[in-house]
């Protein structure tokens, strides 16, 4: 008796009744392969309606996030003072700043695009929620970055921002004038949060596929012709 291959599971999820997985790991694999088989995770085709420049911005945000993380890693490995005293350091700081600006620009266009497409339709509500959540956590991540600049701006922002945080009762645990605390938030917790939420968001997109047009109908040529051909 041989265990089912991934392809078999992907194509015939019910086969496990004949070849049951007996371990937690096997069951987890079965669940994952059922929910997200390899051809959905890494597709070689997309529905015909995925043909607009608006679809570029989601990928643009992910690409910018990669540059944000890479430039931030170089800055953090050299310590908080490096970019004040080194020309190269200042340039890397500039790339960190501008990759953040592009990240938010692309993310906002992507978000508005998805709103006008009502992209939560057809069971995609968690995809929408994780998208907005990544935007909100991204804002917190960027804010803590502004506090780490160790220049006039970070001094002023930490003085001004403390009031809202103290009024909300979190100023002692999220103390904007405490550089040590802000380092942990900015280079560990919040980037991990953004990366994890974005990764989950992308997996959900792959699981559910790109939302079809609002007025799509069975009689549309893009659906009807394929249906006829298959019959």
Near another protein in 201-220, by CB under 8 A: 209, 211-220
3-state secondary structure of 37: coil
Q: What span, in angstroms and rounded, lies between the C-alpha atoms of 58 and 21? A: 37
Interaction between residue 104 and another protein (CB under 8 A): yes
DSSP 189: I
Shortest separation between residue 130's beta carbon and another protein, angstroms: 9
Q: What span, in angstroms and rounded, lies between the C-alpha atoms of 113 and 58? A: 10
Interaction between residue 36 and another protein (CB under 8 A): no
Interaction between residue 42 and another protein (CB under 8 A): yes
Shortest separation between residue 105's beta carbon and another protein, angstroms: 9
Q: What span, in angstroms and rounded, lies between the C-alpha atoms of 51 and 56? A: 10
Interaction between residue 67 and another protein (CB under 8 A): yes
Q: Which of 12, 34, 79, 159 binds another protein (CB under 8 A)?
A: 159
Interaction between residue 189 and another protein (CB under 8 A): no
Residue 117, C-beta contacts closer than 8 angstroms, at least 6 positions apart = 54, 211, 214
Interaction between residue 116 and another protein (CB under 8 A): yes
Q: Which of 7, 88, 156, 188 binds another protein (CB under 8 A)?
A: 156
Interaction between residue 115 and another protein (CB under 8 A): yes
Residue 146 contacts residue 157 (beta carbons within 8 Å): yes
Shortest separation between residue 93's beta carbon and another protein, angstroms: 5
> Long-range contacts: 179-184, Cβ < 8 Å, 24+?
179/80, 179/147, 179/148, 179/150, 182/144, 182/147, 182/148, 183/80, 183/148
Residue 31 or 156: which CB sits closer to another protein? 156
Interaction between residue 91 and another protein (CB under 8 A): yes
Residue 30 or 68: which CB sits closer to another protein? 68
5, 131, 178, 189, 211 from 184: Cα distances, Å:
43, 24, 10, 6, 38
Counting residues that bind another protein (by CB under 8 A) gives: 104
Interaction between residue 190 and another protein (CB under 8 A): no
The one segment of 3-11, 12-20, 31-39, 144-152 that binds another protein by CB under 8 A: 144-152
């Amino acid at each position: 008796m041989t265990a089912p291959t991934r392809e078999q599971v992907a194509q015939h999820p019910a086969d496990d009744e004949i070849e049951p997985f007996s371990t937690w790991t096997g069951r987890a694999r079965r669940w994952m392969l059922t929910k997200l088989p390899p051809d959905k995770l890494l597709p070689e085709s997309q529905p015909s309606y995925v043909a607009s420049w608006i679809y570029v911005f989601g990928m643009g945000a992910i690409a910018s996030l990669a540059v944000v993380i890479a430039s931030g890693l170089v800055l953090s490995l050299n310590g908080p003072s490096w970019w004040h005293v080194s020309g190269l350091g200042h340039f890397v700081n500039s790339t960190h700043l501008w990759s953040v600006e592009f990240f938010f620009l692309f993310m906002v266009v992507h978000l508005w695009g998805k709103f006008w497409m009502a992209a939560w339709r057809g069971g995609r509500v968690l995809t929408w929620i994780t998208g907005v959540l990544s935007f909100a956590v991204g804002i917190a991540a960027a804010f803590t970055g502004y506090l780490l600049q160790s220049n006039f701006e970070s001094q002023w922002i930490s003085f001004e921002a403390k009031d809202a945080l103290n009024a909300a009762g979190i100023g002692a645990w999220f103390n904007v004038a405490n550089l040590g605390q802000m380092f942990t938030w900015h280079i560990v917790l919040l980037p991990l949060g953004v990366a994890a939420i974005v990764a989950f968001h992308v997996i959900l997109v792959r699981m559910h596929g790109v939302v079809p047009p609002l007025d799509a109908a069975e009689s549309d040529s893009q659906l009807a012709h394929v249906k006829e051909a298959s019959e």
